[in-house]
Amino acid sequence: MTPEPIRVPLPGALAADAHRAVRGALRAEPRDAPLVLDCGALGALDALGAARLLRLVDEVRQTGREARLANLSEAARRTLAEVDPAILAHEPAPPRHPLEIVGGRALDAVDAVASMQRLAGATFLGLARPFGHRGIKWDRTLRQMTLVGVEAVWIVFFISLLVGVVLALNGATQLRQFGATIFIANLVGISMTREMGPLLTAVIVAGRSGSAIAAEIGSMVISEEIDAMRTMALSPIRFLVVPKVLALIIMMPFLTVISNLAGIGGGYAVGVIGLDLGSDAYLSQTVQSLFISDVMTGLVKSVVFGLIIGLVGVYRGFSVRGGPEEVGRVTTAAVVTSIVLCIVANACFTALFYFTG
Amino acid sequence: MTAADREPVLVVEDVVAGYGDVKVLDGISLTVDAGEIVTVLGATGSGKSTLLRCIVGLLPPWEGRVLINGRDVNAAGTEEREEILREVGMAFQEAALLSSMTTAENVALPIVEHWHADEETALMLARMRLGRVGLGRAGDKMPAELSGGMRKRAGIARAIALEPRLLLLDEPSAGLDPTTARAIDELILGLKARGDMAIVAVTHEVASINTIADRALMLADGAIIACGTLAEVHASAEPRVQAFFRRELVESAETTSLVDELEWKA
């Protein structure tokens, strides 16, 4: 036997807090009794009022109770008659267990690693074919080298110069106490060539070019340009990915050399102009402190950083699903992921070189 | 005539496909011969564009297979797949022109890559193709500078750049003014007249269907509800087919109003 319905009179105007009117009734026993929302005081119902009324019905139904309307005016009936009944037929999403959420994230991470591996594999295969009809697109690669390398020279130079100045000024404060200000040349030279030069360049290029790569490919995905390339039997890996990654691999060492020189120049300016160290003495000290292995270590790192920035940007770009707002999200993610991975790789390199002498 | 000429250009066999867990196509079969235009009809969301994506290999089917010139596009390796797709041209609903290239460069791209033409020759041929769709003067414009209808026509020019044996058109005349739509229909009929091209056009433009279709296939909820010559499909007793051609709403017997559903009857 159906239990007696619980009648809930609704106020004359359904305000934004109208749901409070039914909250108390939802706790009433028996639990399987339908709630009848008495609309007698409502009068006419505009679109916003109808939306609030249907939200109440939906809220009641989400609790498992039946919800009905009574005493609808003719005007309210006309407004509700225009509404598709299907809007109340949706199934509420089942609540997810926290473990399920964690497991889902873990599986997503495994999928992401597998996709990245496939992308990296396809890119290396593309890089392994330098010439011929299916080979590297050198014209596109040159264009990319201009974009990621030549156009980044001034920003890399300027920031590295300032970092060199800051390193020298901070070093001077400490070294002056021991009368060893000349060793600023060592500090700046070694710091720039081994660590700061490659890492600074990587951060700048990740922010400048990694984001641009992710945004460009992401936009191409949502406008079906990538699909169009595939239907034309044109490989997006060969046309888009390989030129961008190769350009980064080639240009990163050049940018790193510029960063090293600019940083050392900044230290030189502080040493010679600010600390009255002789120009020849500073340069000679710098040359004596640097080993070719320091410079080469930085350059090897920069190649790996270029590879990381390129692959992450491309991977993030291809992972776009949905609309333009997703392009913005993956662009940010590309920069963050690139920088984190470059710093992790840098730490690994430093540890490796330290323990292997 | 060789055996290869006689076999259908496109064979779709019992294709079941979808996105994620959602089945969009359920057991679709279709054969298209050279010199034939098949139109795929149906309401928005009925699976028409998904069928094209399956045919061209962008969406691998869950079941069934797609044969283009006798070769399974989804079972092919990378190089064989490229060979198969060289014989296919597809015009996307939103054109999908590469935004970093001019219109002519877009059309020239497959010519340079697959016919190994030098860039200047390819651009000249691209302008010829653009001329066929009435865009002879638009070659130097970037896609963003073209109107929606012009982009669509440029997409068709790119699709026919390599004179494919199978041409897939996704809503070729939707959103165009009647004169341009008619010109596109004439172009499609002109391509058919060459005799060696099979054309599949997804559309819900009734005027266009009546002009170009040799055969028609109507989809609803991912399944075929009518298939045959245009006359046979017109004569179908299926209410959704009739409603489609008469541009009527299909009323469901089960439809109830929200007031009927919600009103309390003591």
Distance of CA A283 to the CA centre of its chain: 41
Q: What is the pLDDT of residues B173-230, one digit of tens each?
A: 887 888 888 888 888 998 888 888 999 999 888 888 888 989 999 988 888 888 888 8
- The shortest C-alpha distance from B262 to chain A (Å) reads 5
Best A56, A134, A225, A318 member to test B by mutation, with max B CBs in 10 Å, is: A225
Question: What local confidence, expressed as pLDDT, does residue A133 receive?
Answer: 75
Mean pLDDT of B244-264: 68
- Cβ atoms of B48 and B223 within 8 Å: the answer is no
Strand partners, B7: none
Angle A159-A163-A166 from CA coordinates, rounded to 5°: 140
Task: State how far the Cα of B202 lies from the Cα of B32, in Å rounded to an integer.
Answer: 14
Question: What local confidence, expressed as pLDDT, does residue A88 receive?
Answer: 74
Question: What local confidence, expressed as pLDDT, does residue B32 receive?
Answer: 93
Q: What is the pLDDT of residues B1-22, one digit of tens each?
A: 454 556 789 999 999 999 888 8
Question: What local confidence, expressed as pLDDT, does residue B194 receive?
Answer: 81
Using CB atoms, pick whichever of A69, A223, A233 lies closest to residue B82: A233
- The shortest C-alpha distance from B148 to chain A (Å) reads 13
- At position B161, the amino acid (one-letter code) is A
Contact between chains at B98 and A220 (C-beta distance less than 8 A)? yes
Question: For B163, which DSSP code?
Answer: -
Residues of A in contact with B99 (CB under 8 A): 219-220, 223, 225
Enumerate the domain spans of chain B: 3-237
Best B86, B97, B264, B265 member to test A by mutation, with max A CBs in 10 Å, is: B264
Question: What local confidence, expressed as pLDDT, does residue A18 receive?
Answer: 66
- The shortest C-alpha distance from A283 to chain B (Å) reads 47
Q: What is the pLDDT of residues B111-145, one digit of tens each?
A: 998 888 888 999 999 999 999 888 888 889 999 99
Instruction: List the structure tokens of A66.
Output: 């039946």
Residue B191 or residue A156, greater confidence: A156
- The shortest C-alpha distance from A351 to chain B (Å) reads 41
Residue B217 or residue A12, greater confidence: B217
**Residue B102 CB partners (closer than 8 Å, separation 6+):** B139, B140, B141, B142
Q: What is the pLDDT of residues B23-34, one digit of tens each?
A: 899 989 999 999
Please tell me which residue of chain A has the smallest CA distance to B260: A81
Residues of A in contact with B259 (CB under 8 A): 69, 72, 77, 80-81
Using CB atoms, pick whichever of B86, B92, B158 lies closest to residue A224: B92
Say if residue A30 is preceded by a cis peptide, omega within 30 of 0.
yes
Instruction: List the structure tokens of B196.
Output: 């060696």
Residue B249 has pLDDT above 60, yes or no: no
* A68 close contact with B: CB closer than 8 A: yes
Task: State how far the Cα of A175 lies from the Cα of A181, in Å rounded to an integer.
Answer: 5
Mean pLDDT of A278-304: 89
Task: State how far the Cα of A278 lies from the Cα of B56, in Å rounded to an integer.
Answer: 71
Using CB atoms, pick whichever of A67, A85, A224 lies closest to residue B256: A85
Instruction: List the structure tokens of A135.
Output: 């080979």
Helix (H, G, I), strand (E, B) or coil at B177: coil
- Nearest-CA neighbor of A67 among A38, A99, A35? A35
- Cβ atoms of B73 and B17 within 8 Å: the answer is no
Residue A89 has pLDDT above 80, yes or no: no
- The shortest C-alpha distance from A82 to chain B (Å) reads 8
- The shortest C-alpha distance from B127 to chain A (Å) reads 18
Question: What local confidence, expressed as pLDDT, does residue A132 receive?
Answer: 78
- The shortest C-alpha distance from A345 to chain B (Å) reads 33
Residues 124-143 of A with CB under 8 A from B: 133
**B43-47, long-range: CB within 8 Å, 24+ apart, which pairs?**
B43/B204, B43/B220, B43/B244, B44/B204, B46/B219, B46/B220, B46/B221, B46/B222, B47/B219, B47/B221, B47/B222
Instruction: List the structure tokens of B238.
Output: 């299926």
Element (H, E) at A228: helix A225-231
Task: State how far the Cα of A58 lies from the Cα of A85, in Å rounded to an integer.
Answer: 12
**Residue A214 CB partners (closer than 8 Å, separation 6+):** A312, A313, A314, A316, A317, A327, A330, A331, A333, A334
Using CB atoms, pick whichever of A34, A68, A230 lies closest to residue B263: A68
- Cβ atoms of A255 and A200 within 8 Å: the answer is no
Residues of B in contact with A230 (CB under 8 A): 56-58, 85
Residue B253 has pLDDT above 70, yes or no: no
Task: State how far the Cα of B9 lies from the Cα of B87, in Å rounded to an integer.
Answer: 10
- The shortest C-alpha distance from B114 to chain A (Å) reads 9
Number of Cβ pairs < 8 A linking chain A and chain B:
89
Q: List residues in chain B touching A: CB distance below 8 A.
A: 53, 56-58, 78, 81-86, 88-90, 92, 94, 96-100, 109-110, 113-114, 116, 158, 255-259, 261-264
Global pTM?
0.80
**CA distances in angstroms from B217 to B14, B24, B43, listed in the order given:** 14, 16, 12
Which phi and psi (to 5°) does residue B55 adopt? -60, -40
Instruction: List the structure tokens of A327.
Output: 């392009």
Using CB atoms, pick whichever of B56, B97, B255 lies closest to residue A231: B56
Question: For B195, which DSSP code?
Answer: S
Question: What local confidence, expressed as pLDDT, does residue A103 receive?
Answer: 92
Distance of CA B55 to the CA centre of its chain: 10
Question: What local confidence, expressed as pLDDT, does residue B77 receive?
Answer: 85
Residue B251 or residue B261, greater confidence: B261
Residue A256 has pLDDT above 60, yes or no: yes
Please tell me which residue of chain A has the smallest CA distance to B82: A233
Task: State how far the Cα of A302 lies from the Cα of A293, in Å rounded to an integer.
Answer: 14
**Residue A166 CB burial class (10 angstroms; 0-12, 13-18, ≥19):** middle
Calculate what percentage of chain B has a pLDDT beyond 70.
94
- The shortest C-alpha distance from A59 to chain B (Å) reads 14
Instruction: For chain A, list the domains and their CATH numbers.
Output: 6-88 (3.30.750.24), 104-355 (no CATH)
pLDDT band at residue A215 under the 50/70/90 scheme? very high
Please tell me which residue of chain A has the smallest CA distance to B81: A233
Contact between chains at B90 and A228 (C-beta distance less than 8 A)? yes
Task: State how far the Cα of B22 lies from the Cα of B43, in Å rounded to an integer.
Answer: 18
Residues of A in contact with B261 (CB under 8 A): 85, 88
Question: What local confidence, expressed as pLDDT, does residue B255 receive?
Answer: 56
**Residue A155 CB burial class (10 angstroms; 0-12, 13-18, ≥19):** middle
Domain B3-237 of CATH type 3.40.50.300: yes
Task: State how far the Cα of A244 lies from the Cα of A240, in Å rounded to an integer.
Answer: 6
Question: What local confidence, expressed as pLDDT, does residue B137 receive?
Answer: 87
Task: State how far the Cα of B156 lies from the Cα of B130, in Å rounded to an integer.
Answer: 9
Residue B231 has pLDDT above 90, yes or no: no
Task: State how far the Cα of A311 lies from the Cα of A246, in Å rounded to an integer.
Answer: 10
Q: What is the pLDDT of residues A23-42, one digit of tens each?
A: 777 777 777 788 888 888 77
Q: What is the pLDDT of residues A95-119, one digit of tens each?
A: 788 899 999 999 988 998 898 899 9
Contact between chains at A231 and B263 (C-beta distance less than 8 A)? no
ipTM of the complex: 0.86
- DSSP characters over A256-302: HHHHHHHHHHHHHHIIIIIS---HHHHHHHHHHH--HHHHHHHHHHH
Contact between chains at B85 and A219 (C-beta distance less than 8 A)? no
- Nearest-CA neighbor of A220 among B250, B117, B92, B37? B92
Residue A164 has pLDDT above 90, yes or no: yes
Using CB atoms, pick whichever of B99, B113, B264 lies closest to residue A234: B113
Mean pLDDT of A261-271: 93
Buried b (16+ CB within 10 A) or exposed e, A133-144: eeebbeebbeeb
pLDDT band at residue A21 under the 50/70/90 scheme? low
E-strand stretches of B161-247: 166-170, 198-202, 215-220, 223-229
- Cβ atoms of A45 and A17 within 8 Å: the answer is no
* A228 close contact with B: CB closer than 8 A: yes
Task: State how far the Cα of B227 lies from the Cα of B219, in Å rounded to an integer.
Answer: 9
Residue A17 has pLDDT above 70, yes or no: no
Using CB atoms, pick whichever of A69, A133, A231 lies closest to residue B264: A69
Q: How many helices (H) and strands (E) does chain B have?
A: 11, 10
Residue A342 has pLDDT above 90, yes or no: yes
Provide the CB-side half-sphere exposure for A69 (13 A, CA).
23
**Is the Cα dihedral A18, A20, A21, A23 positive or negative?**
positive
Q: What is the pLDDT of residues B45-101, one digit of tens each?
A: 888 889 999 999 899 999 999 999 999 988 888 888 888 999 999 999 888 999 989
Strand partners, B202: B40, B170
Please tell me which residue of chain B has the smallest CA distance to A35: B264
